[in-house]
Amino acid sequence: MTVRAALAGLALLLNQPLIAGADPLDVPASPLRPAASRPAAMEFSWTPLRLPTGERIALAGFNYLLAVDEDWGFGPSLYGAAQGNYGGFFTFGISAQRRLRLSAHTHLALGLSAVAGGGLSSDRMRPGGGLMLRPEISLRTEFGDWYAGIALSHVGFPSGNIGDGSVGLVLGRALDFHSFAPADAGRRGTSRDRSGVGFDEILLFAGSYAPEADTRDRSGNPSTARLGTAGGEGRRYLDEGSWWSLEAAGATSGNADGYMDVFASAGQDWALGDSGLRLGGRLGLGLGGGGNVDTGSGWLWRAGPSLRWQTPWGPSLHLDAGWNAAFGGHFSARYLRLSLGLPLEARPQPGGGERRSGTVREQQFYSSVQYNPDVLFKDGRREPVTHLAIMMTRQLDEALYGIAQAGSAAFGHAGAYSFGLIGLGLQSHGPQPGQWRVGAEALLGAGGGGGLAVGGGAIAQWELWAQRDWDRLRLRAGLGQWRSLASSDQSTPLLNLSLGYAYGVPGR
């Protein structure tokens, strides 16, 4: 029995038709108007923090908030060490925020971030299970689409000994979130603006770092072993040759499991005749560390040439090379990576007008709790570990979808473990409210830290799941397996509970 046939049988038991026959993605329809846009915001924060050791660091934060109504918003969050000597201290999760209007250009914000992760730990500095809570109250002044203010916050790890209150800064920009209703999946749609989170293309990549001779670990010893990496990148094109992007990668081989970096990059390339090849370069600024790699405060820069082949049928291939280096610490390396680019929306065209038109595809964003009951640690013990994660899925064609997932340990004794995964899945179709759908997915990626035995960092996960759909709300439960690719001893069942939000975007 094939996976598709098995899904079809289970879907029938739940009164849920599988995509087949008269495929709703192939049904012609008149162009749709986008659903009314929702307000959204992108916020950056700077949070000073005193550690139990007496050292001072600062966390750079990034939040993307989607409005539920005029006062409430929620969305994914990332915090990373950006000052001190704790490069590689990262947490991922979700934030909620309530805004109170004080005047025409001033508002008060009450927020709470529930994130998980960590980084470097010792007997004196313990993230515990990895859960971090960051309540905040901030006063902001608005100027156009931008706003800035002062934030009073408290960073605490409830099961560890890290905790401190401080006064920091916040900078944000008001955005619009354009989307179609999930039930519009399969119909034709047009929009003058980018939909969803605004990326035109997602890149999946694998590569390697070759450290220079001056690279050291955190004990001062030479650390020049080659490091394999894998990750993903969301790219937005300004025109056919210029772009900016956000990316994240982790170690998959070598002796630095737990290493991770995130970058904001910009690039430019130029066509080489009419071959579809484009030659150019990129420049990036980011945060990274972990895996006993000495990146100092965590700030990194990246620069190098790039080669892109834009295929005539949509996807693209990218070859990038160049140099990575820490502004502080002792880390510098040559890098090489190969990427597959998958288009999300039609590219913007000069001159305005109806810039984007295509078949509406469903996307879903989830906040997830993942329970692993039998995880192997490096010291030989086996214990349960619970992760907090964020997931995003993208309908590709008929029953096929892509998925990206990132998260960290939150409960147990694996604080500082983080991971990133990408993969594909099959699902029954059913964006109609009040119905069930089922699916299966397989993912590959990188993870490390927290004392978990994951070899070089390469990990895999598979899952069978069932989901209830209500308009844009999603509730999903799944059973599967998580394991290290380097050792058959590191394998555990997986229970996944997720709450999601769905929307439609016009695909290519």
pLDDT tens for each residue of 322-348: 999 999 889 999 999 999 998 887 655
pLDDT exceeds cutoff 90 at 418: no
* Domain covering 199-343 assigned CATH 2.40.160.20 in the classification: yes
CA angle at residue 234 from 203 to 132, to 5 degrees? 120
Most confident of 239-243, 272-276, 443-447, 491-495: 491-495
Specify the pLDDT at position 83.
Answer: 92
- Calpha distance 58→179 (Å, rounded): 36
Strand partners, 68: none
Beta-sheet strands, E only, within 449-489: 458-470, 473-484
pLDDT exceeds cutoff 90 at 352: no
| 20 compared with 417, residue with greater pLDDT | 417
pLDDT tens-digit readout, 228-264: 998 899 999 988 889 999 999 988 888 777 889 999 9
pLDDT exceeds cutoff 70 at 433: no
Tokens standing for residue 146: 């931008």
- Calpha distance 494→376 (Å, rounded): 14
Specify the pLDDT at position 356.
Answer: 64
The residue type at 480: G
Specify the pLDDT at position 364.
Answer: 93
| 53 compared with 108, residue with greater pLDDT | 108
pLDDT tens-digit readout, 42-85: 999 999 999 888 889 999 999 999 998 888 999 999 999 999 88
- Calpha distance 133→146 (Å, rounded): 26
Tokens standing for residue 384: 């349960």
pLDDT exceeds cutoff 60 at 16: no
Query: Which band of pLDDT confidence, cut at 50, 70 and 90, is reported for residue 425?
Result: very high
With left for phi above 0 and alpha for psi between -120 and 50, is residue 26 left, alpha or beta? alpha
The residue type at 212: E
CB atoms within 10 A of CB 13: 9
pLDDT tens-digit readout, 187-210: 877 777 778 888 888 899 999 999
SS3 430: coil
- Calpha distance 491→485 (Å, rounded): 9
Residues 91/132, Cβ–Cβ less than 8 Å: yes
Q: How far are the Cα atoms of 266, 419, 485, 492 from residue 460, in angstroms, in the given order?
A: 31, 10, 7, 11
Domain covering 39-177: architecture: Beta Barrel (2.40)
Q: Which CATH class is domain 3-30+355-506?
A: mainly beta
Domain with CATH 2.40.160.20 in the chain: 3-30+355-506, 39-177, 199-343
Specify the pLDDT at position 33.
Answer: 61
pLDDT exceeds cutoff 70 at 134: yes
The structure's pTM equals: 0.85
Average pLDDT over the chain, rounded to an integer: 86
Q: What's the whole-number mean pLDDT along residues 78-95?
A: 90
